[in-house]
Amino acid sequence: MNVAQLLARAARVYPTRPALFSGTRLLSNYGQLSTRVARMARCLRDEAGLAPGDRVALYMANSPAYLELIYAIWWAGLVVVPINAKLHPKEALFILDDSESSLLFVAEDNADAELGNAPSVKRVLRAGGSDYAAMQAAEPLPLTDREPDDLAWLFYTSGTTGRPKGVMETHRMLLAMTACYFTDVDGVDAHDTMLYAAPISHGAGLYNIPFMVRAAKHVVPESGGFDPAELAALAKHYGHVTLFAAPTMVKRLVDHQAETGADSSGFKTIIYGGGPMYLEDIKRALDVMGQCFAQIYGQGESPMTITALSREHLSDSKHPRWEQRIASVGVAQSLVEVRIAAADGTPLPTGEPGEILVRGDPVMSGYWRNAEATARTVRDGWLWTGDVGALDADGFLTLMDRSKDVIISGGSNIYPREVEEVLLKHPAIAEVSVIGRRHDEWGEEVVAFIVRQPGATVEQSDLDNFCLDHIARFKRPRVYRLIDALPKNNYGKVLKTELREILKRDG
């Protein structure tokens, strides 16, 4: 079954229900949205000459066109390749190349010529531009049939080697994720609104599906970004608003509500995940905004679907283990099994930390054209998440640490190795090691320890500009610490734990 079937169904049953909004402005009802999508699908297939299974990349910030394009691509039996709008064009080029995307949609104001250089890309189109509007002249295409295991969403997640890997997300996985949403996260009614506060290119975008199947409202903030004042105003306007946000965003929203004394009753559910939410932060959020929170723990490889901490658990403050529970990531979602295992795969007893393994219909079968990484990550049907955690006797999972030293800043993953490789290209740098340091607003910030080449001098601004030339702005270090030599073990491996100690000691 094609996920776009859910839009076709909503349009048949509820054609006049309002579907897509820009801010408070209605753009289309369900009947109109499905017709627009079917016309665009015709263009993708006939004019662009694409065949089912071909990849179409979206490299743009949130906009109503983003949602239309996702459904047009699915309707035509094609595969969405979402590219984080904050990535550097060179990083986007790698993804275009690896996925062999035939078509690329960029934002109207994105004038980067470099992107057309990917050999597979036949055309670059501007979403929202005149070419985009012209697609509405086409005849609607009938919905393309898809098998459950056909690819729907090719999501690039960075590897520890710094080269992103394409997670193959199928129609079956997305439908299973949707079923889990209703069972484990929240219910959705016709009067509900999904507000796109976080990037649609990530899990927040996939959470459109439960709202599509219930023919609820989809609202894209006009700013296209995360602006707490705008979100609060939209929640007040619509009421019954749901949004997904990384813990750092939740914190900004909570601060805004606390500072302005604004009424939070328009927020029905704020789902957080993607990075650690600290105990004090969730307690304050509940105090300021009330019982409107739910948490999910997932990863690209099992999108939004490993565990969930429901509103019910978050609000059960009389429970003797409430604090422990709200500091956890909740219980296994209903369509997955979660296991804690030792390095050799042996299941570990309750309370013992080990690697978190997951299996079930929402879990990927592998990485795109990367058998080696797949074999490392999916073993005997279990996905090895790379996260370390422990289950308690009631089934609540506590995430202890990430086994791979990933830095999560503002909800985005930053892989130290990638930053290290960039800095090592600088002529003044002999050695470098990058770690994360806790940051009140962003969750973590990037710190680089640098050993200079003998006799070399280097300014922080120079290193900053150098990074900006190679990687996304959000990945560059906020702090550069000069050090005479990196601490290393007998094998010459840098001891990051010692670097963390240095930061703790010296600030």
The residues binding ligand AMP (CB under 6 A) are 157, 273-276, 295, 297-300, 329, 385, 387, 399, 402, 413
State the nearest-atom distance from the C-beta of 270 to ligand AMP, in Å.
Answer: 13
Query: Cβ closer to ligand AMP: 236 or 439?
Result: 439
Rounded Cα–Cα distance for residues 389 and 341 (Å) = 10
State the nearest-atom distance from the C-beta of 162 to ligand AMP, in Å.
Answer: 14
State the nearest-atom distance from the C-beta of 240 to ligand AMP, in Å.
Answer: 24
Rounded Cα–Cα distance for residues 463 and 466 (Å) = 5
Task: List, edge to edge, every strand of the sheet that includes 267-272.
Answer: 25-29, 18-22, 217-220, 193-195, 241-245, 267-272, 293-299, 302-309, 331-332
State the nearest-atom distance from the C-beta of 300 to ligand AMP, in Å.
Answer: 4
Query: Cβ closer to ligand AMP: 64 or 274?
Result: 274
The residue assigned the tokens 């579907």 is 19
Rounded Cα–Cα distance for residues 209 and 178 (Å) = 7
Query: Cβ closer to ligand AMP: 62 or 201?
Result: 201
Query: Cβ closer to ligand AMP: 45 or 402?
Result: 402
Which strand (E) or helix (H) includes residue 48? none
Query: Cβ closer to ligand AMP: 368 or 466?
Result: 368
Query: Cβ closer to ligand AMP: 138 or 373?
Result: 373
Query: Cβ closer to ligand AMP: 2 or 385?
Result: 385
State the nearest-atom distance from the C-beta of 298 to ligand AMP, in Å.
Answer: 6
State the nearest-atom distance from the C-beta of 169 to ligand AMP, in Å.
Answer: 11
Query: Cβ closer to ligand AMP: 110 or 413?
Result: 413
Which residues lie across from 104 on neighbouring strands? 57, 124
Residue nearest to ligand AMP (CB): 299
State the nearest-atom distance from the C-beta of 411 to ligand AMP, in Å.
Answer: 9
Answer whether 25's CB lies under 8 Å from 228's CB: no
State the nearest-atom distance from the C-beta of 276 to ligand AMP, in Å.
Answer: 4
State the nearest-atom distance from the C-beta of 406 to ligand AMP, in Å.
Answer: 6
Answer whether 250's CB lies under 8 Å from 285's CB: yes
Rounded Cα–Cα distance for residues 358 and 386 (Å) = 11
Which tokens go with 282? Answer: 């969730």
- What is the identity of the amino acid at 446? V
State the nearest-atom distance from the C-beta of 493 to ligand AMP, in Å.
Answer: 22
Q: For residue 240, is it left (φ>0), alpha (ψ between -120 and 50) or beta? A: left
* Nearest to 476, CA basis, from 416, 431, 429, 430: 416
Answer whether 423's CB lies under 8 Å from 432's CB: yes
Query: Cβ closer to ligand AMP: 34 or 201?
Result: 201
* Nearest to 203, CA basis, from 297, 290, 138: 297
Which residues lie across from 261 on neighbouring strands? none
Answer whether 271's CB lies under 8 Å from 294's CB: yes
Measured CA distances, 230 to 20, 211, 259, 453 (Å): 17, 21, 15, 48
Rounded Cα–Cα distance for residues 303 and 205 (Å) = 11
Query: Cβ closer to ligand AMP: 325 or 402?
Result: 402
